[in-house]
């Protein structure tokens, strides 16, 4: 028998585990789906099979599902399926949790010692003809892009040495190359980072290792047309604490943030190290090189957005008091200094997306999600425990903002940007809207340039969709 899940933020209300693998053909559509929207939208969703072994855990440990909305000839089909990771298979066979705390193998049931813990729950990326489900503590799992059946762990035909691959690779839209890294590349709490490139056919053509100043949570990174940028923020792993069964991560504001910058095609020995104030960044908007300057734009919160990382560092700040901004750091490589200049670009938010054509170059427009408390009290949804209710289009050069409130009693999951083939058209945003009044979901499509007009199409999904993390749009080929 499977007992109840704990009554903590990670498992209550809209965060209640769904555990439903489902397939729905021909969803009901209100409005008009533009013909040029043809392809598949994949999203990764953490959704634990079993109540946590140790009584409680974080949302970030949930077994990965891949969720797919496939747009074909004006029809929309839905499917979501668990990735059959080794972890998932072992727990399935045992009919209970066997793996313990988030990123702490010392808390596992002895029967799974040495087994792969990766939950493949953060980002689905299509590259080199393969759909890979990523999780930053482990290697990718490959999934069939149509059936969503699990093919197996993907290690670049045995060539990858890193034990880990980030859930935030950067695709160069001009070359088709995938730039990525793995941190804790040689094991738990290690300072080794692997810098990797796969060519447009998905072949691993580069893997070079370097060491960071300390083992920080490195969730995302930046690649410009000329540089690779590796930032770390003081959410710190400590091997002794982990071995004692404690949390993997703890906020430690006595440390500074670090940023390593190297020529992207250069040698890792050319890395130049900068330091910056302690703060927390999970997601970068974009970055670009302008002469001797490297700009990185990011969603900053003054302390970690995840409560469990604050508490492990003995910082007790309620969620609604966590402050932040969209910020640009500028590094001048022609100057001797080792700290960036900082400019505020916009109000706090997360899930920043841009058009593919703008990746790695000077750009103007980003779309990101915010919580606007003027529209009503926060609703529990997603890993941080607060669902977004507003999508914002921000012009970073002028500060011009357009907000789209997604509706009363609603939250929005991460949007994707879909480019248009029409000249001068800014493309579309698509996102899941959770209808907390109905325990159902809708998928909304809006014109990216006209958020103020609201959705041009609403696709009804007759079930609750547990909050996913990241997604990507894959046009029909
Ligand atoms: C994040 C998500 C993760 C994770 C670490 O959004 C950081 C940040 C869904 O898994 O393991
Ligand atoms: Fe992320």
d(CA 133, CA 65): 9
Q: Which mean pLDDT values do the consecutive 10-residue runs of the chain (477 residues) have? A: 95 98 98 97 98 98 98 96 98 98 98 98 98 99 98 98 99 98 98 99 98 98 99 98 98 98 98 98 98 98 98 97 98 98 98 98 98 94 98 98 97 98 98 97 98 98 98 93
Nearest ligand to residue 62 Cα = 1
DSSP-based three-state secondary structure for 301: strand
Number of the ligand closest to the Cα of 353: 2
Q: Ligand nearest 233 Cα, by number?
A: 1
Q: Is 434 close to ligand 1, i.e. is its CB under 6 Å away?
A: no
Closest residue CA from atom 10 of ligand 1: 60
| Cα–Cα distance, 5 to 230 (Å, whole number) | 37
CB 121 less than 6 A from any atom of ligand 1: yes
Q: Which residue has the tokens 């022609």?
A: 334
Closest CA to ligand 1's atom 2 = 60
Residue 219: CB within 6 Å of ligand 1?
yes
Q: How far is the C-alpha of 122 from the C-alpha of 139, rounded, in Å?
A: 12
Q: Is 169 in the pocket of ligand 1 (CB under 6 A)?
A: no
Contacts of 256 (CB under 8 A, 6+ apart): 234, 275, 276, 277, 278
What integer pLDDT is reported at residue 352 of this predicted model? 98
- Please state the pTM of the whole predicted model: 0.98
Using the 8-state DSSP alphabet, how is residue 6 labeled? P
**CA-121 nearest atom, ligand 1:** 9
Nearest ligand for residue 168 CA: 2
Provide the pairing of β-strand 216-217 with 204-211.
unpaired
Task: Quote the pLDDT of residue 1.
Answer: 85
Q: Is 282 near ligand 1, meaning CB less than 6 Å away?
A: yes
Tell me if residue 61 falls in helix, strand or coil.
Answer: helix
In sequence order, what DSSP letters do the residues of 132-164 get, joined into one string?
EEE-TTS--EEE-TTT--EEEE--TTTT---S-
Distance 33 CA to ligand 1 centre (A): 32
Domains of the chain, earliest start first: 9-475 (2.120.10.30)
Q: How far from each other are the two terminal CA atoms of the chain, in whole angstroms?
A: 45
301 CB less than 6 Å from ligand 1?
no
Plot region of 31 (φ>0 → left; ψ -120 to 50 → alpha; else → beta): left
Ligand 1 pocket residue status of 60, Cβ below 6 Å: yes
Considering every ligand atom shown, identify the ligand nearest to the alpha carbon of residue 47 and give its number: 1
How is 62-104 classified by DSSP, letter by letter? SPEEEEEEEEETTEEEEEEEE---HHHHHHHHHTS----STT-
Q: What is the pLDDT of residue 419?
A: 98
Residue nearest to atom 8 of ligand 1 (CA): 282
Counting Cα atoms < 13 Å in the Cβ hemisphere of 132 gives 24
| CA-proximal residue: ligand 1, atom 7 (nearest) | 219
Extended beta strands in 309-468, E state: 324-332, 341-347, 350-353, 365-370, 390-395, 401-405, 410-412, 416-418, 428-435, 440-447, 457-461
Take atom 11 of ligand 1 and give the residue whose Cα is closest: 60
CA 136 to ligand 1: nearest atom: 11
Cα(220) to centroid of ligand 2, in Å? 7
Q: How far is the CA of 166 from the centre of ligand 2 (A)?
A: 9
- The protein residue whose alpha carbon is closest to atom 5 in ligand 1 is 60
pLDDT at 394: 99
CA quadruple 457, 286, 43, 373: dihedral positive or negative?
A: negative
Question: What pLDDT is stored for residue 310 in this prediction?
Answer: 98
Q: Among 62, 120, 122, 138, which residue has the most ligand 1 atoms within 8 Å of its CB, making it the best to mutate?
A: 122
Query: Buried b vs exposed e over 140-177: b needs ≥16 C-beta within 10 Å?
Result: bbbbebeebebeebbbbeeebbbbbbbbbbbbbeeeeb
* Residue carrying structure tokens 């109905």: 438
Which residue's CA is minimally distant from atom 4 of ligand 1? 60
**97-111 b/e (C-beta count within 10 Å ≥ 16 → b):** bbbbbbbbbebbbee
Ligand 2 centroid, distance to 74 Cα (angstroms): 31
Q: From ligand 2's centre to the CA of 456, what distance in Å?
A: 28
d(CA 129, CA 137): 23
């Amino acid at each position: 028998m499977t007992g109840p899940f704990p009554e903590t933020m990670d498992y209550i209300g809209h965060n209640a585990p769904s555990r439903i693998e489902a397939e729905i053909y021909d969803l009901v559509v209100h409005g008009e789906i533009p013909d040029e929207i043809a392809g598949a939208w994949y999203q990764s969703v953490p959704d634990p099979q079993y109540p946590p072994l140790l009584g409680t855990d974080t949302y970030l440990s949930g077994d990965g599902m891949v969720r797919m909305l496939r747009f074909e000839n004006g029809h929309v089909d839905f499917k979501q399926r668990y990735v059959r990771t080794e972890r998932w298979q072992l727990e399935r066979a045992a009919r209970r949790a066997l793996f313990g705390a988030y990123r702490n193998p010392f808390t596992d049931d002895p029967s799974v010692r040495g087994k792969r813990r990766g939950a493949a729950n953060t980002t689905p990326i299509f590259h080199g003809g393969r759909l890979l489900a990523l999780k930053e503590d482990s290697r990718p799992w490959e999934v069939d892009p149509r059936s969503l059946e699990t093919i197996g762990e993907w290690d670049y035909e045995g060539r990858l040495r890193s034990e880990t691959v980030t859930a935030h690779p950067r695709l160069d839209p001009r070359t088709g190359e995938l730039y990525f890294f793995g941190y804790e590349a040689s094991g738990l709490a290690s300072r080794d980072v692997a810098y990797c490139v796969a060519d447009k056919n998905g072949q691993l053509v580069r893997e070079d290792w370097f060491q960071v100043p300390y083992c920080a949570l490195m969730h995302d990174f930046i690649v410009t047309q000329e540089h690779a940028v590796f930032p770390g923020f003081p959410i710190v792993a400590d091997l002794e604490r982990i071995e004692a069964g404690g949390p993997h991560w703890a906020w430690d504001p006595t440390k500074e943030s670090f940023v390593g910058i190297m020529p992207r095609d250069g040698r890792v020995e050319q890395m130049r190290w900068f330091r910056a104030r302690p703060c927390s960044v999970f997601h970068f908007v974009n970055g670009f090189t302008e002469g001797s300057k490297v700009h990185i734009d990011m969603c900053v919160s003054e302390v970690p957005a995840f409560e469990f990382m604050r508490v492990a560092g003995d910082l007790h700040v309620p969620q609604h008091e966590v402050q932040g901004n969209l910020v640009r750091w500028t590094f001048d490589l022609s100057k001797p200094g080792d700290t960036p200049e900082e400019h505020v670009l916009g109000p706090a938010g997360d899930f920043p997306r841009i058009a593919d054509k703008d990746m790695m170059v000077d750009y103007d427009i980003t779309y990101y999600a915010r919580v606007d408390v003027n529209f009503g009290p926060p609703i529990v949804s997603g890993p941080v425990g607060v669902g977004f209710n507003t999508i914002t289009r921000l012009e970073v050069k002028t500060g011009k903002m357009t907000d789209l409130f997604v509706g009363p009693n609603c939250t929005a999951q991460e949007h994707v940007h879909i480019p248009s083939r029409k000249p001068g058209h800014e493309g579309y945003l698509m996102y899941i809207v959770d209808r907390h009044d109905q325990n159902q979901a809708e998928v909304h499509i809006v014109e990216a340039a006209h958020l103020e007009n609201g959705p041009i199409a609403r696709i009804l999904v007759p079930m609750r969709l547990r909050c996913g993390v990241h997604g990507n749009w894959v046009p029909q080929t």
